[in-house]
Amino acid sequence: MKMVCEHCYGAKDHDLGEDAHFVCSTEQIIGVADGVGGWAKKGIDAREYARQLMLNSVNAFVNNTTDPIGTLEQAFMANAYADIQGSSTPCILRHNDGVLHAANVGDSGFMVFRNNL
């Protein structure tokens, strides 16, 4: 089994909304953070929270946290420590030796396709 990672944005790439992601194909890791746009009513930029959450996730992997749940915990704590306001529904996946590990919070999710079925 192998994980194939790709990403694509729509026509308005200059305005990526409140979402963020990262892909590390060499380490078989992908993360997506769906920023909660409702924070705009309180004057808070939801994109900052989602983007920083994904950056903190990458930093956790660089610092040898290979478990997606631990990675997400570290990323959340880094956001809290930096006093970044907002929220996100993130999903982080890591493929390792034929096993897919996942951390998923909220209504984000993923699908596994096998043998083109």
Q: What is the pTM of this model?
A: 0.83
* pLDDT tops 80 at residue 107: yes
Closest CA to 28 of 63, 1, 52: 1
**Cross-strand partners of 29:** 24, 94
pLDDT for 11 equals: 47
Number of domains into which the chain is organized = 1
- Strand ranges (E), 2-96: 20-24, 29-35, 88-96
Asked if residue 44 is part of any domain, the answer here is yes
What is the residue range of 43's domain?
20-104
* pLDDT tops 90 at residue 17: no
- Looking from the CA of 21 toward its CB, the CA atoms found within 13 Å total 17
Question: Tens digits of per-residue pLDDT, 49-98?
Answer: 999 999 999 999 888 777 899 999 999 999 999 999 999 999 999 988 88
Q: Is 113 exposed, middle or buried (0-12, 13-18, 19+ CB in 10 A)?
A: exposed
Asked if residue 14 is part of any domain, the answer here is no
Across 34-58, average pLDDT: 90
